[in-house]
Amino acid sequence: MFHSRKAMTAFGSVALMFSTLCLSPGSAVATSSGQVPDATIGSLVESRLAHHGLDNVHATVHGGVVTLSGEVATLAQREAAARTADLREVDRVDNQVTLRPAQVTDAEIAAGVSRALDSYFFHGVFDWVEVKVQHGHVTLTGSVYQPWRRTVIADRMAGIAGVQAIDNQISASEVSGFDDQLRFQAARAVYGNLLFSEFAELSHPPVHILVDRGVITLEGTVRN
């Protein structure tokens, strides 16, 4: 469609520029199905990565498939890069981003994981999570009160330097009014006792109470 210079409004100018980009010879050409050009997708992904502070991650696009490369400090950044590149126009993201080697021991990683767990507000008396670290691979086991907590806990671990992978084996208790009643009855029985009343207000008390389909399990430590 031809537009004279006089007849073009500001809106028409933008439309013509877009048409020229998509249709002119020698540029990345959109298909007849309306597929966005690879070059356009690549520029958009690179811009989004930079906006999220992922300057060391680079994207190449071929046939709508985005391949990510580069090096980042944490597993969380690697996962964030994949989410950032997963646009509506993208068919698939091939995440080849690697983790920068961290000079930390498994013991240091385990300590960082414990701090992340202890600082999590929703990890309380009805949750119990155990951590094992081997060559940077973190395995999480135990049980939590609500299913969404297991995902959040794993996400917190992903931000710790040195963590190479996370095997989340945490289970979640089924939603049950009967189990909820047992939880609060057991908590009152334990922390209403004079031997434990001093711990009742702690965010991470020494005894944790797990309830699953009427079965009560106690985890933790006591003085004697």
> What's the pLDDT tens digit per position in 201-212?
887 889 999 999
Return the HEC string of the chain. Answer: CCCCCCCCCHHHHHHHHHHHHHHCCCCCCCCCCCCCCHHHHHHHHHHHHHHCCCCCEEEEEECCEEEEEEEECCHHHHHHHHHHHCCCCCCEEEECCEECCCCCCHHHHHHHHHHHHHCCCCCCCCCEEEEEEECCEEEEEEEECCHHHHHHHHHHHCCCCCCCEEEECCEECCCCHHHHHHHHHHHHHHHCCCCCHHHCCCCCCCEEEEEECCEEEEEECCCC
CB 45 within 8 A of CB 66: yes
pLDDT > 70? residue 30: no
Q: What is the pLDDT of residue 175?
A: 83
pTM comes to 0.74
Q: What is the pLDDT of residue 34?
A: 54
pLDDT > 90? residue 50: yes
For the stretch 75-92, pLDDT in tens is: 999 999 999 999 999 999
The structural domains of the chain, ordered by start, are 31-99 (3.30.1340.30), 102-224 (3.30.1340.30)
52 alpha-carbon distance from chain centroid:
14
CA distances, 114 to each of 136, 153, 171, 217 (Å): 14, 11, 18, 22
Mean pLDDT calculated for residue range 22-33? 40
